[in-house]
Amino acid sequence: MLVGPKRFPPAKGAAASRLGSLAKYWSGKTQVTVITPDSADSPNEYFRITVPLTRWRLDFVRLFYLFPRLLRIVKDLHVDVVFVSFPVSWQLLEGYSLVRRLGCPLVVDIRDLPEAMYPLEGISLIRRVFNAWMQAIAYYVFRKASRIATVTDWFRKELIRFLDYPPSRIFVIRNGSEAELFKKALGVKKEFDIVYSGSLSNPVRNPPMILRYLCCLVDLYPSVRVLFLSDFDTKMGKEFLVRIKSFGLDENIVVENMVPNFQLPELLGRARSGLNSLMSGWDAHKGAVGAKVYEYLAAGLPVIGLLDPDFYIEARRLIADNKAGILHPDPERLAEETVALLKSPSRLRKMSIKAREVGERFDRRRLAEDYFYSVILPAWKEHNPNRDE
């Protein structure tokens, strides 16, 4: 089995966490070889990492000399299945090229729609042409896959609508978390009322609205303490830091850089609740449920969602319908509801217990098992009907 992700441990972030967990658990069932552009050594011993792959945008110019090298790396591995995670389009193209040469099935893991990763509105003509090309590559390779897996029911419905592809071959393998790992958060002393963990670089996270919410929150609850775990070296991250100071929020907010997933439970456990934010009106993100949400839940943190539950229906089902958090698109109203929750220890405790129960239902060990037996293994059997497992 060959896994070809762009982001992989020890890289940080949601994508690395999901793909690292899958490879770790699959390695107990088969040989897993990971090929990734991230050259750092992995801190665990479940699998082997080999480089290189292409990365973002103009890296297609490197395909002409990288692909022959990639083929030399894998030709003696006796690969049964090529697994590729989207985004990014270049890795899809590399994965498809490999299965054409190796004669094995391709399984594609889709975490975001191409329209979300490569939008066509509000950008320059050159960028629009490039993004249209990226979308075309993505959908072309999707149709060539033996099996497709995505993370929510809504994404599956959209893929069925966009693709001329058998619906019976599109599966939902939800995101999740290492439930046992995040259990550590339950015993950590609380120092913060709220934690935000994740990127601020994607506009859909709506950093300006987060700041507005924080201003309302501080006005209502001057002693509130908030911890931000993010990558502040990006342009939007730096702008966020500047605005924290300009709005006079620096006494209430502590910022720390993102950490590898195995260190995250100790940090999340320092807070009483977890903040998520999504801008309304971005149809390509309508089915999104951020990986951070599953980590909050597994850590026993009620989710405070600055989002429209009528628009983000998957988030509503997971959080509001399970009584594991509060959701509202208006920052002033959400700040009022947040303060009411923080000032009610009994309600907060009950919601924390419920959050942990929901988080345990999405343990990545079980999700990886489901992925292996319902997606990976059938793809292999279909291409090898006369071979034993």
Q: Give the closest residue to 78 by CA, choosing from 103, 49, 108.
A: 103
Token pair 């693709």 is found at 163
pLDDT at position 323, please? Answer: 96
Instruction: Write out pLDDT tens, residues 193-241.
Output: 999 998 888 888 899 999 999 999 999 999 999 999 998 888 888 999 9
Instruction: Name the least confident of 46-50, 114-118, 309-313, 377-381.
Output: 46-50
CA distance 304 to 194: 9
Cα distance between residue 65 and residue 374, in whole Å? 36
Tokens coding 61: 């110019």
Contact 47, 10 (CB under 8 A): no
CATH fold of the domain at 2-176+363-383: Rossmann fold (3.40.50)
pLDDT of residue 372 exceeding 70: yes
Q: What is the token pair recorded at 342?
A: 């923080």
Say yes or no: do domains 2-176+363-383 and 179-361 share a fold: yes
108 bridge partner residues = 84, 148
Query: Where along the chain do its domains lie?
Result: 2-176+363-383, 179-361
Residue 109: its H or E element:
strand 106-110
> Phi, psi (5° rounding) for residue 62?
-90, -10
Fold of 179-361: Rossmann fold (3.40.50)
User: How high is the pLDDT of residue 62?
Assistant: 66
Residues in Cβ contact with 189 at an 8 Å cutoff, skipping those fewer than 6 apart: 270
Residues 49-59 as b or e (16 or more Cβ within 10 Å = b): beeebbeeeee
Give the span between the Cα atoms of 296 and 306, in whole angstroms.
Answer: 15
Query: Which one is predicted more confidently, 210 or 116?
Result: 210
Q: How far is CA 64 from CA 3, 4, 68, 237, in A?
A: 21, 18, 7, 35
Q: Quick: pLDDT tens for 45-83.
A: 555 555 555 555 556 666 666 778 778 778 777 889 999
35 - beta bridge partners? 50
